[in-house]
Chain A
Amino acid sequence: MNVRLLGCVFRAMWMHRLIMARRYAFNTLSSMITIYLVFLLLFLGGRALAGPMLLGDGLEGLVVGYLVWMFALFAYSDLAWELIMQAQIGTLEKLFLSPAGFRWVTIFNELGGLVFNFGLGSLMLLAIMLTTGTFLRIDLVSVIPLLLATIAAAYGFGLMAGGLALVHKRIQAAFQILQFVFVGFIMAPGDWVVSRYLPFNLGTRLLGQVMGDGVRIWQLPASDLLVLVATGAAYLALGMLVFARMERMARNRGLLGHY
């Protein structure tokens, strides 16, 4: 694959994202405000219910859990909705026509999205920390790899949802529900055997240790890191597999541009 071509496609996707962010600045702002308000509700509700228990460890857990959920949601909905939306407006077919192939188009688009969402996520984290007075340790060297490995699963789900939506146009509504399922994954109790293999679950706990207790990434148990990376890769691979199958099916049935 030729580097010049890939460079151009990367620039195209980045340019598109920046323009859209500018055009939809209001939507971006309002969804950030929503995310913030939901957190505030959760925080106040949690404090009213659990009382002082939510101070200390519990509060850090809540902030980290919410952070992971937010990033997972960003990644998942960015991928799934972008696919659904572009199929609807008919530009998806044009993306498939790129000589770089649709795979690179998507990879570059999500790379841009990652940078973008990381910026937004940091702002949100700052706002949350200021509100709660809980200041987490942001050791970037430890946090970024852990966060990436954790939300890899979200990209897997995004690919699955987007792929399924290409072929089965009417199941989009079901995808809204998935974001609540994510909450379940994140909050599944740590003493269940299966929990660590669930998406986001182990990652959230490791991130809690890093951001709450100041543990560095190399001080974490190697087995935990291994499971985290392996499960993240597995969910992502599953997503890619489902997407490839669905894409083939969509091209067979002529559904890429049909809505």
Chain B
Amino acid sequence: MTMALEVQGLTKVFRRRGKDPVVAVREIGLQVQPGEVVGLLGPNGAGKTTTIKCILGLMLATGGSVRVFGRDIARHRSDAAREMSAVLEGSRNIYWRMTAAENLGFFTLLHGVPRHEAQPYNHRLLEVFGLADRKDVSVQELSAGMRQKVAVACALATRASLVFLDEPTLGLDLETSHELRRLLRELAASEGRTIVLSSHDMAVVQDVCRRVVIMKEGRVVVDDSVANLLALFRTRAYRFALSDGCPDGLEQRLRERFTGVTMNPGRPFVVEVVLDRAEDLYAIIEVLRAAGVLIDTITQREPDLEEAFLRLMRGEGI
């Protein structure tokens, strides 16, 4: 089967006079199947935006190749461009002086979709995104959340098969973020589009994406399913409820030997810990016994992607 996206050895070096060159992306390889929804994670400056822009052709890569549905973007730019659309960083890439409906109309035409073909779907998107009754209001008069939705709708309206969303939920309140996630999930499921979504909000990625690619300093450090990644930590995340509280010095002793220790004072006193190896369970029970505390309950804690991400970034667990 043809891959929706095939990136090989992609490298981007920014050279500026009088400054050291910045290697933003180094030798990245990435394959995305049609219909996959992939989350792109990584700390600030990891190279997510640069990767996306190189794929889109907005930046010229220093090395490597990109194929979109089998077509090399350097050689078949127009064909590749037809398959792709994007929301780039926030709501900056729609026309604020035009209405939501006008923006959708403009960007579909720009993509080569005639008006009569675009209109029914544009209408539906406006409905689905809850913009229908404000579709004739100038975008600048809309709330930030609505603007963001217009930007996402514009990217989807072209019906491109491969959609890039660079931080689509940036600056949205929790409710709007949840709503946008639900919409993306539903659209991905019902239309089978391929989506690459970057975000700093782990909850968004955990919610929307099946697979996650984590970048750090220009490299891909993890490429796995969200489920696998969570499972990796699930088996090792434990929660001990101590019925008699926590004696002095226990916290320090735990921290010396184990990683990911969190203390939650209260009744009962709860100690959370992520064990590096399964055998460490014996060791921690030994430490607790030696400290003379009574263990009320032991439970396996549900880790979330955020914790998995933070630990991976600290170099733990891989």
Contacts and interface: CB of A to CB of B under 8 A. Distances in A.
B57 interface: yes
Contact of B95 (A4, A5, A16, A248): A16
A112 B94 CA distance: 20
Given A94-B107, A100-B78, A254 B59 contact: yes
B41 interface: no
A11 B109 contact: yes
B59 A4 contact: no
Given A91-B93, A99-B82, A9 B109 contact: yes
B106 A15 contact: yes
A73 B158 CA distance: 35
A90 interface: yes
B112 A16 contact: no
A89 B92 contact: yes
Interface size of A as a range? 35 or more
B89 interface: yes
B58 A20 contact: no
B230 interface: no
Contacts of B58: 93, 96-97, 251, 254, 256-257
A1 B112 CA distance: 12
Contacts of A190: none
Instruction: Please classify how large the interface on chain B is, using the bins under 10, 10 to 19, 20 to 34, 35 or more.
Output: 35 or more
A253 interface: yes
A8 B114 CA distance: 6
Interface in A224-259: 248, 251-254, 256-257
A89 B95 CA distance: 8
B107 A15 contact: no
A177 to B, nearest CB: 26
B59 A252 contact: yes
Interface in A11-25: 11-12, 15-16, 19-20, 23-24
A90 B92 contact: yes
A101 interface: yes
Contacts of A256: 58-59
B160 to A, nearest CB: 9
Q: Give the one of A99, A248, A251 with max B CB within 10 A.
A: A99
A97 B60 contact: no
Nearest to A6: B112
Contacts of B114: 4, 7-8
Interface of B: 14, 16, 50, 53, 56-60, 77-79, 81-82, 84-86, 88-89, 92-98, 102, 105-107, 109-115, 138
9 contacts: A1-B78, A11-B115, A12-B109, A16-B95, A90-B88, A90-B92, A98-B111, A251-B57, A257-B88
Given A5-B112, A94-B88, A99-B111, 11 more contacts: A8-B111, A8-B114, A16-B95, A20-B97, A23-B138, A98-B112, A100-B112, A251-B57, A254-B14, A257-B53, A257-B89
